Structure 1
Amino acid sequence: MTYYEVLDDRFQDFIISLCRLEKLHTGMRWAEGPVYFADGRFLLFSDIPNNRMLKWDEVTETVSVFRHPSNFSNGNTRDRQGRLVSCEHGQRRVTRTEYDGSITILADRLEGKRLNSPNDVVVKSDDTVWFTDPPYGILSNYEGYKAPSEIGACNVYCLDPKSGALTVAAGDFDKPNGLAFSPDEGRLYIADSGRSHGRDKPHHIRCFDVGEDGRLSNGYIFAEIDPGIPDGFRIDVDGNLWVSAGDGVHCFASDGTLLGKILVPETVANVCFGGPHRNRLFIAASSSLYAVYLNTTGLQFC
């Protein structure tokens, strides 16, 4: 079976011909939010409709339940202190898991109104927490709890965990989804997956300049995803984007060129780099967790 589609010769440099796409686990209803813990050699990921987070052990290659109920957790990341940061559809909030296992609420309201259903999250080097807030968790009782939006908008937020200040970083998205900073944090890429609920809606990734004060400017459409929609994605040390799509994972150079694809037999929702050398791409795809070794290195914090 062919696992790759090369569209630009540069993509050949990332392929290790001896490495195949591996299915590590299956049985989820909608796998999401993978995050790798190098210090424990394990991967955490969400199974949203089953209201649980699972743990894949890299040494034993076994899967166990990490958290149930998980408040319909979706996207996950780690902060610069190594703590788990999660987006919860069920409680409509972003939380941090402390070293002792206790949960700290980082954000759940804007000006007294409940958030929609935080979706994906990334932590910048200055410890600010950036996350997206589409309505997926309040549209039905499948991935959360059906409810009206109190805010009436789908925003991208920046949270200062020191002061607790929550600000709208971008407010002109249909359904903001995955997000990631460039290696130098000078650019922020944000997915808009609006086409999930309308054929004429956005299915692209936008790119913004990030000012020294954290403000976003000069936004433009970086790339459109087809087939499917852009959901979660990650960036490697050279600035290439590895983006979820309907037919697998699409790799874009920082200039917006689609270099190639990792073909996956299920719709991909999210990815992350892991392994001791951060050269293994973990792929959360519908009912299964996949992985493949690549000849590149993912950013440590993303």
Structure 2
Amino acid sequence: MQYKRHLSTVMVIAGLMVMAGCESERQAWEPTLPPASLVYAQPEGAGIVVLDTALAAEVVDEGAKVEQLTEGAFGWSEGPVWIRDGAYLLFSDVPGNAIHKWSAEAGLETFLQPSGYVGEDTDGVFREPGANGLIRGDAPGTILLADHGNRAIARLDLETKEKTLLATHFAGKRFSSPNDLVLAGDGAIYFTDPPYGLRDMDTSPFKEQTFNGVYLWRPDEGGGTISVIDDSLTRPNGVVLSPDGSTLYVSVSDPEAARVYAYTLGVDGLATDRRVFVDLTPMVQQGYKGLPDGMAVDVDGRVYVAGPGGVHVFLPDGTPVARIVTGTPVANCTFGDDGHTLYLTSAAFLARVRLKATGLGFRD
């Protein structure tokens, strides 16, 4: 039976301040591991926190409901992607090594297990062996995935479930555990590679890359070329593009530097500068649970950031608009249905909220 309940019907007015800024200089920090206390606890009830009444009125109706669609059944839900041909959502359970399917008609099903590493991890390589970020594919009937277990960017055929690895190495060394990805208009893929999939992470004896990078993969006849966008971030995580493709947003899930960066992209797709889009570190310090993670963008360029305290909605200049709260940390979000539903992977369950805003790619 399909499980659905309203988490909240209340909109809350709040004066929460977040810090946006401009920073063109690259910075580096000593690696910091997220403490276990940042998971599965939330100091607030569910609802929508309105930070600017006028701006929020363009995004969400008063009285909008946050709905829980599944019971708590996942180790850590991630990477939601809406499949139009079939009207269903796919999302990953990274530690559970599975991709699940949800539809209004059939409810919850297991779509693919294992989703990442196949076989027994006899060497103790993995902390999280499954697929993580999922996005619509570069060919009909496919999705692209950041595959922790295969330490790769891969393409998955939705009918045959056959997987093709697109990128596995940089400079002759294996990636650590690709986490999230976004497809550019020319078929290139931007992706992040933190060490979250590896047991012991940065100190894992199986970690080959000396940094945790943001990369650009370009398809070619030789199997693709890879360039580094940034090699200075401690925990690069979520990644999205602006509607015109000129700005790349990258979230950093480091509690000491819980930020989202914006990169201006040149005609070659590489970054020409970097600035702080928003700094959520103060919210982490105040006890809000969660870290900057997956993101989505709407047709007007607003950025939806899963982070401390829920999903934050920002204007393209970093102005805070609202925050969507489920009651547990939210790892990622994506638009689905007709483009006005935002699906949220919230720790052990799936949720959604109807918006007035339209998701990028739905105004076709």
TM-score, with length taken from structure 2: 0.77
- The one-letter code matched in structure 1 to 2:51 is L
Aligned alpha-carbon RMSD (Å): 1.6
Distance 1:214 1:13 in 2: 31
Contact residue 179 and residue 233 of structure 1 kept, 8 A:
yes
| CA offset digits 1:5-52 (Å, max 9, x no partner) | 111120122112353111111311100000000111000000111111
Q: Give 1:6's match in structure 2, choosing from 50, 71, 79.
A: 50
Tell whether the 8 Å contact from 2:295 to 2:333 is kept in structure 1 after alignment. Answer: yes
Aligned to 2:233: 173
Alpha-carbon offset, residue 140 of structure 1:
4.5
- Counterparts of 1:104-253 in structure 2, within 5 Å, are 104-140=164-200, 147-163=205-221, 164-195=224-255, 201-225=256-280, 226=283, 227=288, 228-253=290-315
Correspondence for 1:267: 329
TM-score normalised according to structure 1 size: 0.92
State the SS of the aligned residue for 1:295.
Answer: coil
Which amino acid in the other structure matches residue 315 of structure 2? A
* Equivalent-residue separation in structure 2 for 1:113 and 1:297 (angstroms): 40
C-alpha distance in structure 1 between counterparts of 2:245 and 2:183, whole Å: 11
Contiguous gaps of at least 5 residues in structure 2: 1-7, 11-46, 117-129
Name the CA distance, whole Å, in 1 between partners of 2:327 and 2:228.
Answer: 37
Tell me by how many angstroms 1:296 deviates: 0.6
Aligned-pair CA distance for 1:162: 2.4
Displacement of 1:262 after TM fit? 1.0
- Residue 69 of structure 1 corresponds to 114
Q: Matches of 2:85 and 2:155 in 1, distance apart?
A: 18
CA apart distance, 1:101: 2.9
Aligned residue pairs total: 290
The answer (yes or no) to whether the contact 2:138–2:144 under 8 Å persists in 1 is: no
Pick the structure with greater CA Rg: 2
CA distance in 2, matches of 1:105, 1:58: 31
- Which whole-Å CA distance do the structure 1 matches of 2:198 and 2:131 have between them? 13
Partner of 1:198: none
Q: Which residue of 2 aligns with 1:31?
A: 77
More strand by share: 1
1:247 to partner: Cα distance: 1.7
Report the Cα offset of residue 88 of structure 1. 1.2
Distance 1:124 1:250 in 2: 23
Q: What residue is the counterpart of 1:93 in the other structure?
A: 152
Check 1:132–1:222 CA distance in 2 against 1; reply closer, same or farther (3 A cut).
same
Structure 1's unaligned 5+ residue stretches are 196-200
In the other structure, the counterpart of 2:103 is: 57
**Letter in structure 2 aligned against 1:217:** T
Note the C-alpha offset of 1:125: 0.5
Q: Does 2:340 match 1:294? A: no
Which residue identity does 2:297 align to in structure 1? Answer: I
Give, in angstroms, the shift of residue 172 of structure 1.
1.4
User: Which amino acid letter does the alignment assign opposite residue 264 of structure 1?
Assistant: T
Deviations along 1:81-103, whole A, 9 cap, x unmatched? Answer: 24210111111111101364321
